[in-house]
Amino acid sequence: MKKHWLALLAAFCLMLTACSTTQTTPQASEPAKTDAPKVELMISAAASLTDALNELKTQYETEHPGTTLTFNFGGSGKLATQITQGAPSDVFLSASKKDMDGLEEQNLINKDSRQDFTKNSLVLIAGNTSSVAITSFEELNNAAIKHIAVGEPETVPAGRYAKETLDSLKLWDSLSAQMVFGSDVRQVLTFVESGNAEVGIVYSSDAAASKNVKVLATAKPEWHKPIVYPGAVVSASKNPEAAKAFLAYLTSDKGKAILQKYGFQ
């Protein structure tokens, strides 16, 4: 009997040893994923905003590491047409209310997100080395001026404001043969910088961005409709919350400081 109990005890000890040696070592748990989802925002923006937004992009992406801003710059009318035709866009930044109104009427923007974020003024410019010696819009019928660069009135807000100004002064029809039309306000600026036009009509912010032009005159506010820039989230945006966050930043003190640095009001 004693041998029997000793045998059972030995077997029990062997069983305990086997269990302890085959016990699975707990595996370290996988580290929690802390990376936020990456978001790319497509911003359709008026060409006059190019310099200001490129600086804002650097600052915004530094403060929002999960978001990348991609810009599509152009004339506001053409950008609105692209959005109407289904081109991908998260935010529309227009240089005129007219183009934004058109999208709102078609429910192509989130009207609750719409807000005016800056203003501008209209100026007459010439190249720095130009000998043109006029100091007002009223003098544009000067014989020394063969070419006047303006934006296309149908698609470029700056061109529309230029036409309103010259219509107010009863000069548009008499000067139409001298007009050189740009596809956006930056092309108008280039025409003057390159000497392809003696003078041009652009925003004050564009003139401030160039070292190669000088301002001859500033249009009176009553000559044209108010130059106001509205922004809104596009209804088809795949990232509406991120788009709203960008608009909020644009209208914050940080955003306003950058816009003012580049000549916006």
Do domains 41-119+227-261 and 122-223 share one topology? The answer is: yes
Q: What is the CATH number of domain 122-223?
A: 3.40.190.10
Helix H segments across 152-203?
157-168, 172-175, 185-193
Is 32 flagged in the annotation as binding? no
Tell me the C-alpha distance between 61 and 246, whole Å: 10
User: pLDDT tens, 69-90?
Assistant: 999 999 999 999 999 999 999 9
Is 76 flagged in the annotation as binding? yes
Residue spans of the domains in the chain: they are 41-119+227-261, 122-223
User: pLDDT tens, 141-160?
Assistant: 988 899 999 999 999 999 99
Do the strands 148-151 and 179-182 form a parallel or antiparallel pair, or are they unpaired? parallel
Is 48 flagged in the annotation as binding? yes
> CB 253: neighbour CB atoms within 10 A?
6
Assign domain 41-119+227-261 one CATH number from 1.10.3720.10, 3.40.190.10, 3.40.47.10, 3.40.1190.20: 3.40.190.10
Is 203 flagged in the annotation as binding? yes
pLDDT at 203: 96
In this prediction the pTM is 0.80
